[in-house]
């Protein structure tokens, strides 16, 4: 790859001290993000999927610096964010924005739409009153909010409209990178696709780069170029969305795909293969491959040695001792 | 014709709030036969939960069943005594909710609660109840059932809590199980396990299920009959194959089109324009009129009647009034 990545994450780790609640004196740590590495090109959308608690939000929060990493590096335009002086960091922060899952709690209920969207503009730019209003109205138009809503409060809006307000605020400063942390999971089905279409349209028009977090594959499929699948703090597979859907190589990805209920009764798969068991306790993760207790393909080595995250095919990264190829897939 | 286990007839459940009357369930009719899975699908606020709570007679002030009847094995649940109703709940009728923790008591062990329910409903002694309780836990796929029996609810994962809820609900061998979004709070791999479990139990016990969900994938996977609700009304009802193959109501079609399909690749996803109106914001006439791409003058003026356009296929839409226009022709959603 010739082009320098916009974002590069190297060996990123975040552990939380969860000793409280344990009786013993010895310390207990939960590795929410455990040695994660990837790059993101300018204008690219990387989807991050995985089940509850696998570390998606922690990863997003680390990149916007809501958490201090335990180890590893975050390079933004080639510069490490972790050792920037305060003033430069402040400016950098304007380049990286975040959109949260819950449009109900992420907006200040006492502020009007105008003030919510104007806030980042006021903080970072010196605009006249008229310019500010013009900018806000333009942003509202971009996200499909009627200008008559300018002086309304968040509680007067539906979930989808609130999420549009959140998006308008996030794009106000024309950031280079936006972390979307489950931006549609709290919304109704018919509204989810509206917001996904909007995010994709904005990404194209404003040449934005997204790290797009979601629980399930259906939600990331539409917007993403590449997708990373996480399990217990680790990326287990990372490749283009086409490859991931057509040719998943990690057994967990295969399990995720086959668990999605298909909205067509003629395709009921009575005998489809389901993953057994539950997600293990993250404080005491299994040895070896963290997925081995649920894996239908495990062998002796899987419970002993942790598989490395390597490029098995061009642009297709997998952490598995027995990646699925065309031969061993049923 | 086979006799229905439950028949809901023109049910109306209204909330008499300070701001006005909310017709949360407005003229809803459907029937469930023995061993059948009937799914109610619709977006937030469409009246799914209020419908199921009405069947259980669990509507609280300021809500009230304002009309209609709920016939369970011929008895009208709307006007039997609360005492009789309490007997039916837990025996013939059981319900599970989206958040299992809200219905499990945090200060008692799983086994305690399970055995209590079994003793109450099956008139077993303590020792028998423990044995049946552990068997039930095994039946719903809980590994190490012996140990889990003595644990407290918070020590279990969401999926395990939901399995326990299902075990509790089934421990009294109900004829009808109402499941209100039983898998919505769960991860997709765990959801798949719970759905399979429910299917196995239908086969084994012949339980009828009223399944409430907003996920058409779950509907397609589980249901025999489907009821689509919008704004407190049934807008379409059909067997699952007909509904997905030939949806007649624009809302049903919009919902199906906007559900992501795993093997479909397109530039833009289908969606339904606008948002679901608040309880007092629905338009006059057809409640879907302000979001409907097929809207006609008549729709804005007059509420469409429910008509049967095929065997057991019911739709509430003016497109199928006198003329019977076909949905797949002319316009579609973008
Ligand atoms: N401040 C914290 N202290 C202790 N543990 C934490 C903290 N924040 C997160 N965790 C734990 O870290 C793990 C990862 O959490 P995270 O919120 O990143 O997951 P997620 O993938 O975003 O999950 P979800 O899909 O439920 O949002 C979880 O086990 C969580 O309980
Ligand atoms: N206690 C109450 N007081 C006033 N209105 C109520 C009350 N409970 C429900 N409603 C109203 O009844 C309507 C239907 O609500 P219901 O809970 O049945 O929706 P639902 O289809 O289950 O939605 P969701 O998918 O969000 O669970 C809503 O408009 C709601 O505001
Ligand atoms: S390493 Fe082994 S246990 Fe882990 S996913 Fe691959 S085959 Fe399964
Ligand atoms: Mg999260
Ligand atoms: Mg509900």
> pLDDT at position B1, please?
46
Q: How far apart are CA A196 and CA B322, in angstroms?
A: 38
Q: How far apart are CA B79 and CA B278, in angstroms?
A: 31
Assess whether pLDDT exceeds 90 at residue B293. Answer: yes
Instruction: Give me chain A's average pLDDT, please.
Output: 90
DSSP E strands in chain B: the ranges are 4-17, 20-33, 37-41, 63-72, 75-76, 93-96, 176-180, 208-213, 225-230, 233-239, 306-310, 313-316
User: Which residues 249-288 of B have a C-beta within 8 angstroms of A?
Assistant: 254-256, 258-263, 268-273, 275-276, 278
Say if residues A164 and A194 touch (Cβ distance below 8 Å): no
Assess whether pLDDT exceeds 60 at residue B263. Answer: yes
B322 or A41, which is more confident?
A41
Residues A149-161: what's their mean pLDDT? 88
Q: What tens digit of pLDDT does each residue of B23-72 get? A: 999 999 999 999 999 999 998 889 999 999 999 999 999 999 999 999 99
DSSP state of B154: G
Assess whether pLDDT exceeds 50 at residue B284. Answer: yes
A83 — pLDDT class (breaks 50, 70, 90): confident
> pLDDT at position B278, please?
84
B327 — pLDDT class (breaks 50, 70, 90): very low
Residue A257 sits at the chain B interface (C-beta within 8 Å): yes
Residues B146-157: what's their mean pLDDT? 89
CA A68, A69, A72, A73 dihedral sign is: negative
Residues B191-210: what's their mean pLDDT? 89
For residue B258, give both structure tokens: 């906007």
Say if residues B208 and B6 touch (Cβ distance below 8 Å): yes
Q: How far apart are CA A298 and CA A59, in angstroms?
A: 28
Assess whether pLDDT exceeds 60 at residue B331. Answer: no
> pLDDT at position B2, please?
59
A300 or A186, which is more confident?
A300
Say if residues A185 and A101 touch (Cβ distance below 8 Å): yes
- Give the closest-approach CA distance of A154 to chain B in angstroms: 14
Strand order in the sheet with B75-76: B20-33, B4-17, B63-72, B75-76
A21 — pLDDT class (breaks 50, 70, 90): low
> pLDDT at position A282, please?
87
Tell the residue nearest (CA) to atom 25 of ligand 1.
Answer: A52
Share of residues in chain A with pLDDT > 90 (%) = 68
> pLDDT at position B325, please?
45
B75 φ/ψ sector (left φ>0, alpha ψ -120 to 50, else beta): beta
A326 — pLDDT class (breaks 50, 70, 90): low
Domains of chain A: 7-20+27-329 (3.40.50.300)
> pLDDT at position B330, please?
41
Residues A123-135: what's their mean pLDDT? 92
> pLDDT at position B323, please?
46
For residue A313, give both structure tokens: 């095919």
Residue B203 sits at the chain A interface (C-beta within 8 Å): no
A79, A154, A207 from A43: Cα distances, Å: 18, 31, 5
B332 — pLDDT class (breaks 50, 70, 90): very low
Residues A184-209: what's their mean pLDDT? 92
Assess whether pLDDT exceeds 90 at residue A324. Answer: yes
Instruction: Give me chain B's average pLDDT, please.
Output: 90
Residues A118-130: what's their mean pLDDT? 91
Q: What tens digit of pLDDT does each residue of B213-230 get? A: 999 999 999 999 999 999
What are the residues whose beta carbons fall under 8 Å from the beta carbon of B221, sequence distance 6 or more?
A261, A262, A265, A268, B195
> pLDDT at position B253, please?
96
Q: How far apart are CA A7 and CA A65, in angstroms?
A: 14
Q: What tens digit of pLDDT does each residue of A164-177 get? A: 999 999 999 999 99
DSSP state of B252: H
In terms of Cβ atoms closer than 10 Å to its own Cβ (0-12, 13-18, 19+), residue A135 is: middle
Using omega within 30 degrees of 0 as the cis cutoff, is the peptide bond preceding B62 cis? yes
ipTM of the complex: 0.89
Share of residues in chain B with pLDDT > 70 (%) = 96
B123 — pLDDT class (breaks 50, 70, 90): confident
A85 — pLDDT class (breaks 50, 70, 90): confident
Q: How far apart are CA B164 and CA B138, in angstroms?
A: 10
Please tell me the least confidently modeled range out of A12-16, A93-97, A270-274, B173-177. Answer: A270-274
State the residue for tokens 């923790």: B101
Please tell me the least confidently modeled range out of A116-120, A230-234, B94-98, B251-255. Answer: B94-98
CB of A53 closer than 6 A to ligand 1?
Answer: yes
Task: Measure CB to CB from residue A193 to each of B240, B262, B269 and give the nearest one.
Answer: B269
Say if residues B9 and B55 touch (Cβ distance below 8 Å): no
CB of B44 closer than 6 A to ligand 2?
Answer: yes
Closest ligand to C-alpha of residue A297 is 3
Residue B93 has phi, psi (to 5 degrees) of -120, 130
């Amino acid at each position: 790859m010739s082009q320098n990545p916009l974002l590069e994450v190297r060996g990123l780790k975040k552990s939380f001290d969860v000793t409280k609640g344990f009786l013993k004196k010895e310390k207990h740590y939960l590795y929410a993000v455990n040695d994660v590495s990837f790059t993101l090109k300018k204008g690219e959308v990387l989807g991050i999927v995985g089940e509850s608690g696998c570390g998606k939000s922690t990863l997003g929060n680390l990149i916007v610096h809501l958490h201090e990493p335990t180890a590893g590096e975050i390079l933004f335009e080639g510069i490490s964010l972790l050792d920037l002086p305060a003033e430069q960091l402040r400016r950098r922060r304007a380049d990286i924005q975040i959109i949260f899952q819950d449009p109900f709690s992420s907006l200040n209920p006492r502020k009007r739409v105008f003030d919510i969207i104007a806030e980042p503009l006021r903080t970072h730019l010196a605009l006249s009153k008229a310019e500010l209003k013009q900018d806000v109205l333009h942003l509202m138009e971009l996200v499909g909010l009627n200008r008559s809503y300018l002086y309304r409060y968040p509680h007067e809006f539906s979930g989808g409209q609130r999420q549009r307000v959140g998006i308008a605020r996030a794009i106000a400063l024309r950031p280079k990178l936006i972390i979307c942390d489950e931006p549609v999971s709290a919304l109704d089905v018919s509204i989810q696709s509206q917001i996904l279409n909007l995010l994709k349209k904005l990404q194209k028009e404003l040449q934005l780069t997204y790290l797009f977090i979601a629980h399930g594959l259906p939600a990331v499929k539409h917007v993403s170029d590449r997708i990373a699948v996480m399990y217990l703090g680790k990326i287990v597979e990372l490749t283009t969305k086409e490859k991931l859907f057509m040719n998943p190589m990690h057994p967990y990805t295969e399990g995720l795909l086959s668990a999605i209920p298909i909205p067509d009764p003629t395709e009921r798969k009575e005998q489809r293969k389901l993953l057994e068991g539950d997600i293990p306790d993250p404080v005491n993760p299994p040895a070896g491959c963290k997925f081995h207790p649920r894996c239908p393909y495990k062998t002796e080595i899987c419970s002993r040695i942790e598989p490395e995250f390597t490029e098995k095919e061009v642009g297709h990264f997998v952490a598995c001792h027995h990646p699925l190829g065309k031969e061993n897939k049923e | 014709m086979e006799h229905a286990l439950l028949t809901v007839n023109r049910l109306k459940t209204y909330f008499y709030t300070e701001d006005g009357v909310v017709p949360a369930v407005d003229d809803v009719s459907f029937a469930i036969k023995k061993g059948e899975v009937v799914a109610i699908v619709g977006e937030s606020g469409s009246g799914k939960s209020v419908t199921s709570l009405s069947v259980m007679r669990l509507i609280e002030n300021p809500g009230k069943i304002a009309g209609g009847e709920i016939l369970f094995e011929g008895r009208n649940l709307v006007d039997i005594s609360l005492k009789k109703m309490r007997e039916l709940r837990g025996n013939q009728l059981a319900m599970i909710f989206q958040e299992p923790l809200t219905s499990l008591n945090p200060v008692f062990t799983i086994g305690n609660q399970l055995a209590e329910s079994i003793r109450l409903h099956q008139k077993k002694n303590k020792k028998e109840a423990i044995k049946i309780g552990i068997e039930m836990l095994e039946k719903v796929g809980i590994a190490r059932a012996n140990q889990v029996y003595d644990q407290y609810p918070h020590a279990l994962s969401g999926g395990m809590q939901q399995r326990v809820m299902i075990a509790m609900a089934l421990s009294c061998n109900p004829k009808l199980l109402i499941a209100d979004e039983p898998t919505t709070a769960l991860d997709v791999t765990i959801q798949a396990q719970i759905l399979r479990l429910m299917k196995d139990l239908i086969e084994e016990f012949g339980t009828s299920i009223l399944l409430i969900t907003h996920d058409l994938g779950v509907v397609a996977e589980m249901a025999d009959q489907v009821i689509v609700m919008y704004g407190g009304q049934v807008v379409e009802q059909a067997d699952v194959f007909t509904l997905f193959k030939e949806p007649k109501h624009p809302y049903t079609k919009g919902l199906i089109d906007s559900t992501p399909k795993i093997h479909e690749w397109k530039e833009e996803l289908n969606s339904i324009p606008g948002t679901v109106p608040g309880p007092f914001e629905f338009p006059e006439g057809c409640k879907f009129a302000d979001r409907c791409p097929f809207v006609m003058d008549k729709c804005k003026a007059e509420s469409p009647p429910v008509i049967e356009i095929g065997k057991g296929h019911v739709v509430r839409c003016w497109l199928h009034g006198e003329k019977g226009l076909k949905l797949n022709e002319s316009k579609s959603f973008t």
